[in-house]
Amino acid sequence: MNRSLIFVPSTEDKLSKIEKLDADIVIIDLEDSISADDKDNALERICGFLEKYHQEKPIFVRLNSNRYIKEAERLKKFGKLGFMLPKFEKPESYEKCLEIWENHPVIALIETPSGIVNVEKIVSCNWIVAVAFGAEDYTASVGMKNHPDMLLYQKSMLVTYAKANSKKVFDTPSFSIGDDDTFRYDVDSSAALGFDGKMLIHPKQIEYINNAFSCSDPEYLRKIVEEYERSGKAVLVLDGRVYEEMHIKRIRKILAENS
């Protein structure tokens, strides 16, 4: 499952805590959380960590757009590693490492108006497995408020085009660390819009995100499928709700992803 994707700065203390995190995916950060004079050291710290890492939890590294070639070349020897490419606006901008991308999963992080406008082209790129939305940079670039209600158009665009191309799509992190109500509204909105999961910045956010993007009652969902199959009809009415084939397909998918 790919419900929760936590950013972890490439510092000694943060890297040492990765194996205890319950997030589905860890994104080790070389970009925003690392100062310019520490980029090379941070890259070497990742290499040291990956040499000793033996868990199955997927690891991605967020690269820097202005030095991604150097970073990708250094990290490509780690076979199971994925990459997150920031400020993604068009595939051509990152094609200098095309051979690497074809052997490692890539998440395109869309953070600009140009990225939103070009989303159809981005998700149709065969070496991109998923797209993610960086709302903090996006809203800053256009001078708007970073709030779920203000970003319905952009988020719906990402979900629609990603799903049309069978790609995963992840929503922006919530920066409401001390405001639980705002955080929960943000997460619930992401799940309701059809995102597959959500990025995050603090471990205390993991549990709620995992629950929000998981089926809440698998036993009841299995009952729906069983009743539908037993009825032999195109439409099932159960507990006052109508279920047709499209609903059953979605429920089967949810159960498979949570098995």
| Three-class HEC string of 189-226 | HHHHHCCCEEEECCHHHHHHHHHHCCCCCHHHHHHHHH
- Distance between CA 86 and CA 133 in Å, rounded? 10
Residue 118 has phi, psi (to 5 degrees) of -95, 15
Amino acid in the structure at residue 181: D
Confidence at residue 216, expressed as pLDDT on a 0 to 100 scale: 57
Confidence at residue 217, expressed as pLDDT on a 0 to 100 scale: 64
- Distance between CA 208 and CA 23 in Å, rounded? 11
| pTM of the entire predicted model | 0.87
Instruction: Give me 177's structure tokens.
Output: 């660390």
Confidence at residue 214, expressed as pLDDT on a 0 to 100 scale: 79
Longest CA pairwise span in the chain (Å): 66
Query: Distance from first CA to last CA of the chain, Å, rounded?
Result: 9
Domain boundaries for CATH 3.20.20.60 within the chain: 4-212
pLDDT means per 10 residues, the chain with 259 residues, are: 93 95 97 97 97 91 98 96 98 96 97 98 97 97 95 97 96 90 94 94 94 76 89 86 85 79
Confidence at residue 219, expressed as pLDDT on a 0 to 100 scale: 79
Confidence at residue 246, expressed as pLDDT on a 0 to 100 scale: 84
Instruction: Give me 19's structure tokens.
Output: 């194996």
CATH architecture, domain defined by 4-212: Alpha-Beta Barrel (3.20)
Confidence at residue 39, expressed as pLDDT on a 0 to 100 scale: 98
Contact 96, 124 (CB under 8 A): no
- Distance between CA 219 and CA 237 in Å, rounded? 17
Q: Write the DSSP symbol of residue 184.
A: H
- Distance between CA 199 and CA 26 in Å, rounded? 9
SS3 label, residue 106: strand
Confidence at residue 101, expressed as pLDDT on a 0 to 100 scale: 97
